[in-house]
Amino acid sequence: MIKLIIHGGFFSESSQSQETKLAKQQSLSIIAKQSYEYLKTHTALQTIVYAVELLENDELFNAGIGSQIQSDGKIRMSASIMDGVSAKFSGVINIEDVKNPIKVAEKLFTHDDRVLGGEGAISFARANGFEKFNTELPQRRLEYEAKLKSKGMGTVGCVALDAQGHIAAATSTGGKGFEMVGRISDSATAAGNYANEYCGVSCTGVGEDIVSSAVATKIVTRVTDGMSIKQAFDKTFTELKNIDGFAGAIAIDKDGNIYHQDSHPMMVYASYDGTNLEVFN
């Protein structure tokens, strides 16, 4: 039994058309199928990196080459991975000028210091063969110059369960756009990306709300403590509602149950099990 679910963040930008929404759904469908085929012969950990790299390479999504521009005119990205078997987490925060932050997070996985930020993350990437790459799109520059501030809830992620029953999760973001320099997103924290042997979760939404509610960690912990995946989501999102939080999450548990929920119905997901493809919103 292998399972996979991915997300492409919230469809929240008012400037985006129905055509763009449909394009995102189609792209997610293709990537979900490609990643499932990859999962057949690879581990969950390898697959989540593969899937998120595909998402980072698609300019429709706010990660990698689709990343938002911050208030000082620069792009800074964050990404992380977590392996449910080893309970290891690695990530980069506010990294610049790399095409695929998720690949840098993967490279860090075998190091003792596994979460790097800013200049340290950039230096590590260069030292490990990641060439300088400008991820800025002309459309993002136009949005920046026109001060078309989006709601900033674009992130991509993947959770996978492999043939050995191992779970892993990955999340990557290009930020919320026009944020203060130095702002930390949830994507490279355990609040936004978490997995263990019982469950894996990837989040998107307002990073500050996700961190305040420790969304991914709470869901996984509650499943570990015996709650069903639905119960864990329901309780966590009830708590999120108490602070008027804006978030969405995807998950898979050890029994192969796939679940997703958001606080506002604008999130784009796709799941595939080899037969059934489901695309949401």
User: Catalytic residue positions?
Assistant: 155
Residue found by looking up tokens 């130095």 in the block? 182
Integer CA distances (angstroms), 236 to 37, 198, 201, 208, 255, in order? 32, 17, 12, 15, 20
> For helices 118-127 and 101-108, what crossing angle results, to 10°?
80
Strands (E), the chain: 3-10, 77-83, 88-95, 115-117, 155-161, 167-173, 193-195, 199-205, 247-253, 258-262, 267-272, 277-280
Helix, strand, or coil here: 28? Answer: helix
Per the CB < 8 A criterion, the answer to whether 35 and 158 are in contact is yes
Helix, strand, or coil here: 18? Answer: helix
Give the angle subtended at the CA of 244 by the CAs of 177 and 208, to the nearest 5°: 40
DSSP assignment of 93-160 equals: EEE-S-S-HHHHHHHHTTSSS-EEEHHHHHHHHHHTT--------HHHHHHHHTT-------EEEEEE
149 token code pair? 């501030």
| Distance from C-alpha of 172 to C-alpha of 188, rounded to nearest angstrom | 8
